[in-house]
Structure 1
Amino acid sequence: MRVERVVPILTVTDVASAVETHRRVLGMSVVMDHGWIVTLADEAGRQLSVMTRDASAAVNPDVSVFVDDVGEALRQAIAAGAEIVHPLTDEPWGVTRFFYRDAGGSVINVGTHAEPSAPQ
């Protein structure tokens, strides 16, 4: 399993205000907007997400880690004895993910983007 991208996530009460602040202070642009979560990036592709409440999980993650094999990541998390706080789920927005809680209490969203379906 290989880590492909790590994105910190800030929980906020007002996504639009948070986005505007990060755009003005850091010069980042919106690259993804689901309403409840927005991801901003700079020209080099470094990213920061802000969210109000996760759309399908009971807890908000503190960071997203995208990997090339989310099933293997889940197996490693279970083998390590990590508490799984959101099960492996194929989300409607095209991500397969699970969450675990680390020893310090942070919630890690581990996911991969679903492969596009082949044309029929």
Structure 2
Amino acid sequence: MAVRRVVPNLQTDAVPESREFYRLLGFEEVMNHGWIVTLASPSAPAAQISVMTSDKTGPVTPDLSIEVDDVDAAYAAIRAGGAEIVHPLQDEEWGVRRFFVRDPGGRVVNVLGHR
């Protein structure tokens, strides 16, 4: 299993204002679902940040997203390791397969793969 990207998720009630703030730092919008906006550096597209009001289908807003090349293998490894699954593995309508897990420090990690 390989990690493709890691994206911090910042929860905010000011998504449009946050989007404009990060644009001042050179980020460009690469995804906007209304409840989440992801911005990326044009010169280093894997350098990304997301701002969101809350997660559309998850029980909590994740602190971090990690995209992997094999989300099913990641899910199996996390389960075998005994970590707390916060949101089960599922396919989402916007084209990702994902689950949430709690890390040892209490942060919620959204682990995903694109279909």
TM above 0.5, one fold? Answer: yes
Q: CA deviation at 1:14?
A: 1.4
Larger Rg: 1
State how far apart, in whole Å, the 2-side matches of 1:111 and 1:22 are.
Answer: 24
Aligned residue for 1:55, secondary structure, equals: coil
State how far apart, in whole Å, the 2-side matches of 1:50 and 1:82 are.
Answer: 26
Q: CA deviation at 1:79?
A: 1.1
Q: Tell me which amino acid in the other structure corresponds to 1:50.
A: V
Aligned residue for 1:75, secondary structure, equals: helix
Which residue of 1 is the match for residue 14 of structure 2?
14
State how far apart, in whole Å, the 2-side matches of 1:68 and 1:29 are.
Answer: 24
Which residue of 2 is the match for residue 37 of structure 1?
36
Q: Tell me which amino acid in the other structure corresponds to 1:14.
A: A
Which residue of 1 is the match for residue 52 of structure 2?
51
Q: CA deviation at 1:3?
A: 0.8
Q: Tell me which amino acid in the other structure corresponds to 1:30.
A: E
Do residues 63 (structure 1) and 64 (structure 2) align? yes
**What TM-score do the two structures reach when normalised by structure 2?**
0.96
Which residue of 2 is the match for residue 82 of structure 1?
83
| Percentage identity across paired residues of the two chains | 56
**What TM-score do the two structures reach when normalised by structure 1?**
0.92
Q: Tell me which amino acid in the other structure corresponds to 1:42.
A: S
Aligned residue for 1:100, secondary structure, equals: strand
Q: Tell me which amino acid in the other structure corresponds to 2:62.
A: P
- Gaps of at least 5 residues in structure 1 are 115-120
Q: Tell me which amino acid in the other structure corresponds to 1:78.
A: R
State how far apart, in whole Å, the 2-side matches of 1:4 and 1:104 are.
Answer: 23
Do residues 73 (structure 1) and 74 (structure 2) align? yes
Q: Tell me which amino acid in the other structure corresponds to 2:11.
A: T
Q: CA deviation at 1:27?
A: 1.3
State how far apart, in whole Å, the 1-side matches of 2:107 and 2:114 are.
Answer: 22
Q: What's the C-alpha RMSD, in Å, of the aligned pairs? A: 0.6
Q: Deviations over 1:58-93 (max 9, x none)?
A: 101111100111011001111111100000010000
Q: Tell me which amino acid in the other structure corresponds to 2:79.
A: I
